[in-house]
Amino acid sequence: MNSLNIYFENQTERVYDNNGAHDAAKLIMRKYENMDIQFKTGKDKFPYAWLESKSTAGFKLILNQKELTWLMGYLQEGKTEDLETEPEKVEAYKEGDNSDLQMSIFKQLIERGKTLQFVPMFRETNGYITACASYQKGKIKFRLKRTDELVEYLTEKGLI
């Protein structure tokens, strides 16, 4: 039996169209739809938001500080202005950085006094903690790996 081979000539690196993702987010905002967001860090160490709405399937928007501020402005107050967000200027986390964006956002919201809705522990499966932060124009959803440190933190804050 002969083995099959694939030969690639002029192989080019595929680059993610973050400007297109930004425009898709802007379209959701122009329709004033509620947006569901999950914050994550990709395998390539780039922080991103997974966005979806009732009329738009989920997609990734790679974040910088300005993009994050823009998204939060929409969630909290319905602001759609995206001046100078520069969606093409994104950077990956460097080695040693606290690169868990989801946990970072989660703790920042708690420290700022944001009320989160938690799935009761008896309903949770597979060792996760699930929570949701509701805003005027959408929700931020969290699904965090349950660790002793996280459970201790949330118990200390009186949240679980």
For the chain, what is the mean pLDDT?
Answer: 90
CB 99 within 8 A of CB 37: no
CB 41 within 8 A of CB 101: yes
pLDDT at 30 over 90: yes
Give 2 or 54, the one with higher predicted confidence.
54
Q: Coil, strand, or helix at residue 79?
A: coil
Total-model pTM: 0.86
State residue 150's pLDDT score.
Answer: 95
State residue 97's pLDDT score.
Answer: 60
What's the one-letter identity of residue 127?
A: G
**What are the residue boundaries of the structural domains of the chain, listed by start?**
18-87+99-156
pLDDT at 37 over 90: yes
∠ at Cα 10 (8, 15), nearest 5°?
100
DSSP string, 137-155: TEEEEEEEE--HHHHHHHH
Per residue in 144-159, pLDDT tens? 999 999 999 999 999 9
State residue 72's pLDDT score.
Answer: 96
Per residue in 63-102, pLDDT tens? 999 999 999 999 999 999 988 899 999 988 876 666 789 9
pLDDT at 10 over 60: no
Per residue in 106-127, pLDDT tens? 999 999 999 999 999 888 878 9
State residue 40's pLDDT score.
Answer: 96
Task: Give the integer Cα–Cα distance in Å for 49 and 102.
Answer: 9
Task: Give the integer Cα–Cα distance in Å for 4 and 90.
Answer: 39
CB 153 within 8 A of CB 135: no
CB 153 within 8 A of CB 145: no
